């Protein structure tokens, strides 16, 4: 199939391109490069067979969207493009609603006009808010705690309304848990701009000596050692999940909402320990106050993904640390654009 990958130059998108090309699909990337680099696409090309077509465009521009759909006979869309920084979304909620929610509405409108009705959407475990019980099944109550999370919830509802209006839609809503790590080649990986918001890229930057130490946000949660527990998932496993979802949509009409996680939670201190073991580097840290809005624990019940998609995570924490560290060591400054 010919797949339009919005946000394809980003972290999860670039890894998914590799898996799509491996599965024999053709890819067209639509990205405004607001949080990514074309170097990622050049690197994907190095580890893949098959070409990538890149269209620099913005979801907020219906003209850009029309142009890409008129230039290519798209069969399906995988929609990664969006802003994802929780803190920034609190400061600039309208930016998030315009870019993520309105941008997705523009995309869907263009899909309707182009007669394309197959969509895989990047949602997030953040839609579960503070979980009442664990592990999280897809039918658990939702309730995001910040504007970023609400953009995901609103888009999910918009997509369900769309499917309700026209039975031709086939939509997979994938709720990712905490993606980390990198492609084992070390050629593509996460490339945060500025100070990382997330735990894993912060740890790798401490390990490489770019930051002196890690702040652990609270050790008084009701967890194994008091630090926050999350379901970390290798980005390559996550990427494979998208190919499985596309295959499933070939025979599924309506909306399929699925968790992509491992089902296993690890605490911050367990993550530090695993990373030290794999990298041989010390990770100096200090315990500081809880981060506003954080929850104690979050991990998936991944059984629906197994049943519906025939997918399950294959990599464990050690491989996530190994591949994430391999990427960081070989690309200490991330993607460097030559011009």
CA proximity to 318, closest of 268, 267, 272, 274: 274
Q: Which residue is listed with tokens 């599965």?
A: 23
159 belongs to the binding site for ligand NAD (CB under 6 A): no
Task: Pick the closer one to ligand WQD by CB: 25 or 230.
Answer: 230
Q: Which does 89 bind (CB under 5 to 8 A by kind): ligand WQD, ligand NAD, none?
A: none
Q: For 289-335, where are the alpha helices, taking DSSP H only?
A: 303-309, 317-330
Q: Does 224 sit near ligand NAD (CB under 6 A)? A: no
HSE-up of 279 (CA within 13 Å, CB side)?
A: 26
User: CB–CB of 123/173 below 8 Å?
Assistant: yes
Q: Which is nearer to ligand NAD, 151 or 165 (CB)?
A: 151
Does position 270 interact with ligand WQD (CB under 6 A)? The reply is no
DSSP code string of 123-167: EEGGGG-S-SSSSBPTTS----SSHHHHHHHHHHHHHHHHHHH-T
Question: Widest CA span of the chain, in angstroms?
Answer: 55
223 binds, among ligand WQD, ligand NAD, none (CB under 5 to 8 A by kind): none
Positions marked active-site: 148
Q: What is the DSSP letter of 290?
A: P
Partner from ligand WQD, ligand NAD, none contacting 10, C-beta within 5 to 8 A by type: ligand NAD
Q: Which is nearer to ligand NAD, 4 or 162 (CB)?
A: 4
Cα(79)–Cα(93) distance, integer angstroms? 21
Q: How far is residue 129's CA from residue 58's CA, in Å, rounded to a whole number?
A: 29
CA-to-CA dists, residue 313 to 44, 68, 77, 128, 270, angstroms? 22, 33, 23, 21, 19
Stretch that binds ligand WQD, among 34-42, 69-77, 108-116, 194-202 (CB under 6 A): 194-202
Which residues from 13-72 bind ligand WQD, rule CB under 6 A?
Answer: none
- Helix or strand holding residue 337 (H, E): none
Out of ligand NAD, ligand WQD, none, what residue 216 binds, judged by CB under 5 to 8 A for its kind, is ligand WQD
- In terms of CB distance, is 28 or 59 closer to ligand WQD? 59
Give, as ranges, the residues between 23 and 42 that touch ligand NAD (CB under 6 A). Answer: 31-36
Identify which of residues 191 and 267 has a Cβ nearer to ligand NAD in the complex.
191
Residue 33: closest CA among 326, 335, 339: 335
Q: Contacts with ligand WQD in 103-162 (CB under 6 A)?
A: 124, 126
Q: What residues from 55 to 94 belong to the interface with ligand NAD (CB under 6 A)?
A: 58-60, 80-84
84 binds ligand WQD (CB under 6 A): yes
Among 48, 67, 185, 197, binds ligand WQD (CB under 6 A): 197
Residue 259 in contact with ligand WQD, rule: CB under 6 A = no
Site for ligand NAD in 163-202 (CB under 6 A): 176, 178-179
**Binding site partner of 202, from ligand WQD, ligand NAD, none, Cβ cut-off 5-8 A by kind:** ligand WQD
Smallest distance, ligand WQD to C-beta of residue 36, A? 15
How many angstroms separate the Cα of 39 from the Cα of each of 33, 42, 47, 136, 334?
Answer: 11, 5, 13, 36, 10
One of 20, 74, 77, 99 touching ligand NAD (CB under 6 A): 99
Residue from the set 82, 135, 228, 241 that interacts with ligand WQD by CB under 6 A: 228
In angstroms, the CA 318 to CA 321 distance is 5
Count of beta carbons in the 10 Å neighbourhood of residue 282: 11
8 vs 218 by CB, closer to ligand WQD = 218
Binding residues for ligand WQD (CB under 6 A): 84, 86, 124, 126, 178, 197-199, 202, 214-217, 228, 230, 268, 291, 294
């Amino acid at each position: 199939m010919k797949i339009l990958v919005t946000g394809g130059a980003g972290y999860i998108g670039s890894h998914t391109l590799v898996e799509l090309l491996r599965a024999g699909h053709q890819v067209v990337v639509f990205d405004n490069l607001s949080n990514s680099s074309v170097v990622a696409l050049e690197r994907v090309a190095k580890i893949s067979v098959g070409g990538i077509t890149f269209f620099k465009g913005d979801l907020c521009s219906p003209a850009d969207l029309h142009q890409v759909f008129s230039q290519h006979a798209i069969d399906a869309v995988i929609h990664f493009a969006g802003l994802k920084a929780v803190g920034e979304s609190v400061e600039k909620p309208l930016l998030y609603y315009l870019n993520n929610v309105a941008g997705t509405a523009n995309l869907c409108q263009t899909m309707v006009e182009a007669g394309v009705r197959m969509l895989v959407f990047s949602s997030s475990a953040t839609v579960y808010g503070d979980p009442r019980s664990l592990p999280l099944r897809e039918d658990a109550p939702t309730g995001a705690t910040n504007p970023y999370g609400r953009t995901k919830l609103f888009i999910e509802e918009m997509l369900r309304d769309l499917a309700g209006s026209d039975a031709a839609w086939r939509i997979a809503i994938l709720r990712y848990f905490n993606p980390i790590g990198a492609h084992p080649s070390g050629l593509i990986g996460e490339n945060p701009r500025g100070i990382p918001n997330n735990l894993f890229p912060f740890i790798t930057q401490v390990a490489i000596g770019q930051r002196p130490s890690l702040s652990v946000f609270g050790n008084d949660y009701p967890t194994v050692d008091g630090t926050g527990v999350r379901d970390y998932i290798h980005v390559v496993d996550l990427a494979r999940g998208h190919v499985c979802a596309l295959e499933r949509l070939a025979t599924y009409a309506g909306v399929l909402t699925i968790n992509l996680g491992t089902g296993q939670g690890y605490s911050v201190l367990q993550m530090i320990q695993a990373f030290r073991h794999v990298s041989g580097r010390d990770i100096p840290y200090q315990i500081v106050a809880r981060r506003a809005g954080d929850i104690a624990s979050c991990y998936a019940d991944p059984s629906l993904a197994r049943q519906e998609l025939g997918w399950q995570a294959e990599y464990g924490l050690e491989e996530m640390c190994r591949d994430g560290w391999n990427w960081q060591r070989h690309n200490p400054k991330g993607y460097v654009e030559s011009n």
